[in-house]
Each structure stands twice: as C-alpha cells, then as structure tokens.
Amino acid sequence: MIGHKARWQFVRWEETLQSGSDGEILALYDEAPLTPRFWATLILVYAQAAFEFFDYFLVGYLVAVLAPSWKLTYGESSIMLLSAGVGAIVGSLVFGRLADIFGRKKLLVLGGCVYPLAAGGIALLPDGAWIAFSLLRFFVGVGMAGAITAQVPLLVEITPTRHRPIVTGGMVVPVSLGVMLAAMSAATLLELIGWRGIAALGTIPIVGALAIAIIVPESVRWLLVHGRFSEARAIVARVLKRPADSIVLPAALPPQPRKAPFRDLYGNKVRFWQISIMWTAMTTVGYCAILWGPTILSLRLNIPVKAAAEYFVWVSLAAILGRILFTFLPLWTGRRRAGELAGYIGALFLLGAGLFNGAYIGTLPVFFLMLIGAMFIFDGNLSNVAPYSAEIWPVQLLGRGTGLVQACNGIGKILGPLVLAFIAGSDNLVTPKATNEAILPAFIVLTICAVIVGLCFTLVPVDRVRTPLAMRDDEMEPTTTQRGRAARPAQARAAQ
C-alpha cells in the first residue's frame, strides 16, 4: 500500500512522462524527493559561503595588527580593507553575466579557486607592502563575488519550491559562522602562528572548490532556459532513478539566448533600484561595523587585538542567531514585514552604539552590547534579504540579478571602511583620539543607512516567499504581500 501523497506524486510523474514541455519536466523535478547529492551540494555551498566570509573578515584583524607595525594611515588601512570591495564589483558584474551565459557550476568553481589563491598569497608579502596587500585583496574580491554570484542562483534553482524559503534563507547563516571563525582564529592562533599564518588559512576553501567540481550538478532550470533539454532530462532522470528516455523531451526549442546584457535588468526599474539601494545601504553598515569594530574596541578600551577578537566572537554569535531567526520569521510575517522590522529596530541599536560608545554597563562596554543587538536584528535580516533578492528575478536574469546584488555589496565593502576613515581624516595615523572622535558621526551615517533599508521594504509592496520561480521575465506573475499566499502560475491565469 502506498500513501495518498505518494500516489498523488506518482500520478503527477506519470502525467509528466506523457507531456512534452519544459514546464512539465520542471514540475517533475520540483516535486522529486531530495537526494544525497542535493544534500552534499548544500553542504559544499554552505561551507564555501562560510569560508568566503571567514577570509574576508579575517583581514579586519590583520589590518588591526599591521597598522601600528607598518605605521599605516587611515587612508592606507582603508585601501587595504576596501580593495576587496573594488574587486567584488568587477567580479560580480563579469561573473554575473557569464553565469547566465555559461551556467552556474563552472563559474562557481572558477571563483572558488581564485579567491583562496589570492588570499594565501598575502602570507608571502614582505613587511610594509600595503600596496601589494591591497592588490591581492582586489583579486580576493573578484573571486569571492564571482563565487557568490553563481552560488545563489544555483542553490535557488536546484531547491524545490516547497523547501526554498528555508534552504536559501539558511544559506547566509554560515556567513556569520565564517565571521565567528575569523574572530576565533584571531583570538586563539594570532600569537601562535603570527599574521602570516593567519593569512595562509585563507587557502583552505580551494579544497571545497575542487569538491564542487566533482559533486555538484548544473542547474536544471538554467539548462531548460537555454534549451539544453537532454542534459536537464538526464539530471531529472538520475534524481528520480528512472530511465532518461522515459521522460519526453519538449517538442519545441526556445529562442536562442542573447548575450546577456546587463541592461535587461533595468526593464523593471522599481525592482532594479530597490535592490541597488537596499544592498548598498545594508552592506555599508555591515562592513563598517565588522571591519572597523575590532580596531575601535582595541583602541577605545586600550586592549590588544586578541582581546578585541574575543569580544567579536560574541558579536558573530549574535549574527548567527539572528540569521537563524530571519530564516524562519518570513514564513509567518512575509519578507516585507521582516525587512521593515530589521531596518527600523536595527537603526535604533546603531544609533545607541554611537551615542553611548564610551559608556559601560558594569564591566561591559555599551558599544559592544549595542553592536550585538545590531548584528542580531539588522545583520540577521540577511537571511531574509538574500533569498528575496533572488526570488524577484526570473531564471533567465538570475545570474545578472545576483551580479547586481554583489556589485552593490562591493560598493558597500568600499563605503563601509571609508565611513570611519573619511570622518577621522584619511591622513591620520590609526590612533585612539582619531577613532573616538569619529565613532558618533560614523554611526549616525550607519543609522541612516539602516532606516533606508526599512524604507526599501515599506515603499515596495513585494513578497514572493512562497512563489515558484519564473523561468523568463515575461512569465513573472503578480506578487502579493498576503502571508502564506502563493501567486498562481501565469498559464492558469491565462486559462481563466
């Protein structure tokens, strides 16, 4: 005897075998059970995301160590921190377009090899070589943004719609884990292996890139959009453990894909500007707080970098818990309400960090406590924003849409380090006096950025948390802000 649900799925599969459209093959794939290969892919992508940000935020501790010994100014320190942001803009725009042309997997592997090699190269630099340091960080940004630009579309596209909110929202939880690992590494290993040893840890992710090349499949949805039906059918047949020739190929091929110009993204101006403004504001906050945070605590409290890193283990843990919360919260509130909550309440915590940066509650700095609150609520919102930013693009544009996100992320990587440096004066040496005077105005700027994130959700009433992905832009269906309600497929609307 088989259960009602199993019989229903079997009937759907049998109906699909007799049909001949890419939509039917996709329905078959979307209803299939999750396989060990899917879970292996999920683990590899999650691990790669964690190590990407482990490497990125580790540089904050390296700069905090090197600034005094290399006699760096705020301007030089900021260039070392923001050079990865410049590289991220280049990498996201190039890789985003290529991911729509050549597929997700190839670009994922390429980006996953570029940034570990560049990160490890920093360990070989001579003392005082801040320009070479910045150049290598540029390539770290290129590879990292390239990998993320392929990661997000791949994970969104291979995950069945019924599991997508949790799986894709949970993807950014390992990002906070990477931040925490960076803090723990600096706190426990910095004195043992030195800054060169810490920098050399950045080469570890290349192992994951090689595993991805062997294990991870290409996106079935991308293959279908590009008319590569035989390859898509082979993957679906393997998932279902059925003969490939038992699944009927679509009768007609779609038009040949164009050369994927980025101007296609501007076809929906509201969507384009919402994503651009929201991600630029959000990442400016995150990168300023995390990259300058260890330096601020070290100088403000007159403690060594190792001790500041120990504080930031707790900040990173708060971010992990926040991202877990915001993975599930949109299932009840919708993505729009969750985004508003994070933007406006996060702004209050950031303002508190600036206003009370010299105060204590007992022995704990209020700046540290407010930063924990901001990371929990505002940074946690990344588990909501990241899948939202993928759900509003069709598969046809998803690589470039993710490229736009990562380009804005790269702008945030530039603006974040510059906020404090610009206010303190870029020609000043990194000193307690310069830092303390810049904290309040810098965090007022971050507060404004957080409010802007909240407004991006308030002013654009879009919520697609339970909506199936559209394959092409002309198939995008109307969206709804009603909790738990999924939009109907375009074909069903047309039939009515």
Query: Using one digit for the tens of pLDDT, what is the confidence trace for 53-101?
Result: 787 677 777 887 888 888 887 778 878 877 887 888 888 888 888 888 8
pLDDT over 90 percentage in the chain: 18
Q: Examine the pLDDT at 165 and tell me if it is beyond 70.
A: yes
Specify if 275 maps to a domain.
Answer: yes
Helix (H, G, I), strand (E, B) or coil at 225: helix
- What pLDDT, on a 0 to 100 scale, did the predictor assign at position 424? 60
What is the overall mean pLDDT for the chain? 79
| Closest to 227 (Cα-Cα) out of 469, 467, 471 | 471
Residues found in the chain: 496
Counting Cβ atoms within 10 Å, is residue 482 exposed (0-12), middle (13-18) or buried (19+)?
exposed
- What pLDDT, on a 0 to 100 scale, did the predictor assign at position 168? 80
Query: Using one digit for the tens of pLDDT, what is the confidence trace for 364-418?
Result: 888 889 989 998 999 889 889 988 888 888 888 888 888 898 889 888 877 887 7
Q: Examine the pLDDT at 109 and tell me if it is beyond 90.
A: yes
Q: For residue 205, which phi and psi values (nearest 5 degrees)?
A: -60, -15
Query: Using one digit for the tens of pLDDT, what is the confidence trace for 192-213?
Result: 888 888 888 888 889 989 999 9
Which of 19-28, 56-65, 132-141, 461-470 shows the lowest mean pLDDT across its residues? 19-28
pTM of the predicted structure, to 2 decimals: 0.73
Helix (H, G, I), strand (E, B) or coil at 73: strand
Specify if 9 maps to a domain.
Answer: no
DSSP string, 163-176: THHHHHHGGGHHHH
Specify if 96 maps to a domain.
Answer: yes
Specify if 495 maps to a domain.
Answer: no
Dump strand ranges (E) for 317-378.
360-361, 364-365
| CATH (domain of 354) | 1.20.1250.20
C-beta separation of 384 from 330 below 8 A: yes
Specify if 250 maps to a domain.
Answer: no
Specify if 299 maps to a domain.
Answer: yes
Distance separating alpha carbons of residues 414 and 249, to the nearest angstrom: 48
User: Which residue range is the domain that position 421 belongs to?
Assistant: 22-244+263-486
Specify if 7 maps to a domain.
Answer: no
Residues 6+ apart with CB under 8 A from 444: 351, 354
Q: Which of 185-189, 464-468, 485-489 has the highest mean pLDDT?
A: 185-189
When divided into structural domains, the chain yields a total of 1
Distance separating alpha carbons of residues 171 and 196, to the nearest angstrom: 30
Specify if 465 maps to a domain.
Answer: yes
| Closest to 414 (Cα-Cα) out of 137, 128, 99 | 137
Helix (H, G, I), strand (E, B) or coil at 467: coil
User: Residue 447, Cα to own-chain centre: how many angstroms?
Assistant: 21
Q: Which of 176-185, 306-315, 381-390 has the highest mean pLDDT?
A: 381-390
